[in-house]
Structure 1
């Protein structure tokens, strides 16, 4: 895989799980570069202020809604891995997976929704 600016994109970074993922990465693994991404710029900036105040961290905010495929592809194209924490996956998950595939970026999620899992396998398991 080619060199990319960020190691990880945490999509859905301002949600319950996304915040905890970001906090963990910032506090326990400051060497990992992180793109925090989601639909609400104000919440993303507040997250950065709360958890990433250390200017030595390589972290940045990216605003992109789950239905904005071009913005998602541009964001994900800067990252080695997308960690999708934005649920419910049945509403947004397929768009996020498609953007990761289109940008050539590895994808990981926390899916616990059998219906979404089945739909994703049918759509993308080639």
Structure 2
């Protein structure tokens, strides 16, 4: 089981704002933030729900190639809301909300590119 993951971002403040807005519809919030003075390396921010940060962004040279991170949503309405919030936050369309039956029946996802080109997805499995 994966405990946490993250991406490197070129503009920490811009990415923080993007993820705060994009992930809010699926119940995520920024729960932690530590400056380089604390980490000894770089600024970081953690996002999650239920008090646990499981997705982190770190100031640095973005991952190349960009990475794909998928967040599980409780229902299709949350996937739709994620997509619209992410686009409103400056994300770029990489696949509008919809069924992807080639993955499996009931796979409903939406894809956006974050400010650094990382492929961020919200997905619901089932009705």
TM-score range, shorter chain: 0.3 to 0.5
TM-score of the superposition, structure 2-length normalised?
0.32
- Structure number having the greater helix percentage: 1
- Structure number having the greater strand percentage: 2
